[in-house]
Amino acid sequence: MNEIIKEYTKAIGREKRKDIMVIGFFVTIFLLFVVFAIMLGSFQAKLLNSRTAIDLNDGSIKRLSTIDAIKAREMEAYHQSRFFMDNFFEFDKSNYQTKLNRALWIGDNTVKNVYKDLLKNGWYNNVVDGNLRQYVSYADPDIQINFDRKPYRVTIRFEIVLRGDTYEEEKHPGTIKFNLGDCSVDMNHNPHGFEIQNLEIIDFK
């Protein structure tokens, strides 16, 4: 009888040790998760607060606060939108291939599809063969960007102005919309780190 009681006591002890080990394991995992979350939050805060920008006045590097970094990113979004418009819609015979390549480089397949549609309709041939200069004139406000969520949503109202030495000036109003998605910065081709996505021509006459 004593042997049975001893074995029973040992079995209970083993089960208790197992329970303690299991509880200890989960407590350790939980503590590691908490430490990781704290470290990640600290790293993100440091990353946001350590962004820098180049001062165009003297060329020095300035550290940006979180708010400054957000404002700087919004300015980059605006400049990327202008960069796209200036290259996709504003050109002449001497530079249209170079400028279109720049615009296509920073866009997804929807940009390429819009380009193909305009090409098929003879838009670029009219400019090149007629030796015309094509300009972009913006409406007021020229570029509207919704910064409430990502990707940023951009709406642009504008006029395409066609001019030539012996050509009567033409104006073609238009409205386009697209998203600005974050992407890797490429200083040669995409210095602002945005991709033009989901390009739609809402109105173009």
**Longest Cα separation, the chain:** 118
**DSSP letters for 79-92:** HHHHHHHHHHT-EE
The residues, ordered by sequence, that sit 6+ positions from 70 with a Cβ below 8 Å of its Cβ are none
Sheet holding 194-204, edge to edge: 91-92, 133-146, 152-164, 167-182, 194-204
| Nearest-angstrom CA–CA distance, 75 and 152 | 12
Q: What is the CATH number of domain 79-204?
A: 3.10.450.230
Query: What's the pTM value of the predicted model, to 2 decimals?
Result: 0.66
pLDDT single digits (tens) 130-179:
788 888 988 767 899 999 999 999 999 999 888 887 777 888 888 999 99
pLDDT single digits (tens) 18-48:
555 656 666 677 667 666 666 655 555 554 4
Structure tokens at 46: 């440091």
The helix (H) or strand (E) run that includes residue 155 is strand 152-164
| Nearest-angstrom CA–CA distance, 47 and 58 | 25
Structure tokens at 154: 């951009």
